Amino acid sequence: MTAQPAPARRITRQREAVRDALAASDEFVSAQSLHQSLRAEGSSVGLATVYRALAALAEDGEADALQSGGEVLYRACTPSHHHHLICRRCGRTVELEAAAVERWAGQVAAEHGFVEPEHVVDIFGLCAECAARR
Amino acid sequence: MTAQPAPARRITRQREAVRDALAASDEFVSAQSLHQSLRAEGSSVGLATVYRALAALAEDGEADALQSGGEVLYRACTPSHHHHLICRRCGRTVELEAAAVERWAGQVAAEHGFVEPEHVVDIFGLCAECAARR
DNA sequence: GCGGAAATTGACAATCGTTCTCATCCGCGC
DNA sequence: GCGCGGATGAGAACGATTGTCAATTTCCGC
């Protein structure tokens, strides 16, 4: 296998705190702001640790990550593959299933001789509320 | 209108150099590497200027930008809306048309009450050559 | 062809998100 | 309870990008 030596992940107070904080928000948040939230509610967690915990969650498929405005945002997510519809104003996010898109991506990749296709599919827009508030 | 005072874009040796250098490459490149290429071939262009030129090109729709590995990559592109199929190994890129995906994105956004939808759709994989070279 | 207002440039400092270092701490299997 | 190796945290280090500002260059009308 190409599997790494399996880092053997441990359960610590800090990691649980990060996981909980992430689960408590239903929108994408940055490592920085998550760190501040934790600090604000008394949890003493180092910034570096928040980064490491988020990276670990993303790697384990427990969180989605996306780059926006020069920083990486995270959000707790369902384990199955999916995409997002995100309000670019308030950050509200809807998870999307899109079998048709999956199929299309795989097919297009194959047509051009590409293998091991992965894809990034996200839709940004203004949610109804934010649009009304104009 | 909410239109800005229109900065009135000018044609300069540096901007042309950046545009040419970008057009000379058929894969995504970073501002940093583009700057080095220009320097290597004798063009004296400041790094900040390369950043500004690339940002201007992207804004004018003459270049596509995508974030990868903490940096922003640029590539000259056709003026019409399109997506990409990118080799994650060598960077070779294929531009894709995908009317069906456009329609899907607009429809899904509408279903959830979102307006002004924009979407990011890119496929990463290993091109035939890179896959064979294993 | 000239003059001048305004955009542009470039060298460098400043930001800012993220990663690294390393000594200390602690989860977990025995 | 003991000990190994992963985890933590404070701060330094890093690297991409942006801001600053005086000097330069473009382009407009005349």
Residues of A in contact with B105 (CB under 8 A): 123
Q: Please say if the pLDDT value at position B3 is more than 60.
A: no
**d(CA A48, nearest CA chain B) in Å:** 17
Same domain, A66 and A94: no
DSSP string, B55-96: HHHHHTTSEEEEEETTEEEEEE--SS--EEEEETTT-BEEEE
Burial environment of residue A33 by CB neighbours within 10 A (0 to 12, 13 to 18, 19 or more): middle
Looking at the DSSP bridge assignments, the partners of residue A67 are A72
pLDDT at position A87 over 60: yes
Does any domain span residue A42? yes
The answer to whether B109 contacts chain A (CB < 8 Å) is yes
Domains contained in chain A, number: 2
CATH of the domain at A122: 3.30.1490.190
Residues of B whose CB is below 8 A from A120: 120-124
pTM: predicted TM-score of the whole model, two decimal places = 0.89
**Is the residue at A5 inside a domain?**
no
**Are residues B112 and B68 located together in one domain of the fold?**
no
Single out the residue in B76, B92, B125 at which a domain terminates.
B76
Task: State which residues form the domain around B59.
Answer: 13-76
Measured from the CB, is B11 under 7 Å from any atom of strand C? no
Q: Is the pLDDT of residue B5 over 70?
A: no
B72 and B88 belong to one structural domain: no
| Interface contact B46, partner A, CB < 8 A | no
- Whether the CB-CB separation of A119 and B123 falls below 8 Å is answered with yes
CATH number at residue A33: 1.10.10.10
Q: Does residue B2 form part of some domain?
A: no
Is residue A81 within 8 angstroms of chain B, CB to CB?
A: no
Residue B114: both structure tokens together: 């979102």
> Does residue B78 register a pLDDT over 80?
yes
Out of A55, A76, A97, a domain closes at: A76
Share of chain B above pLDDT 70, in %: 95
Q: Answer for B48: CB within 7 Å of strand D.
A: yes
Average pLDDT (B55-74) is 93
Residue A80 distance to chain B (closest CA, Å): 19
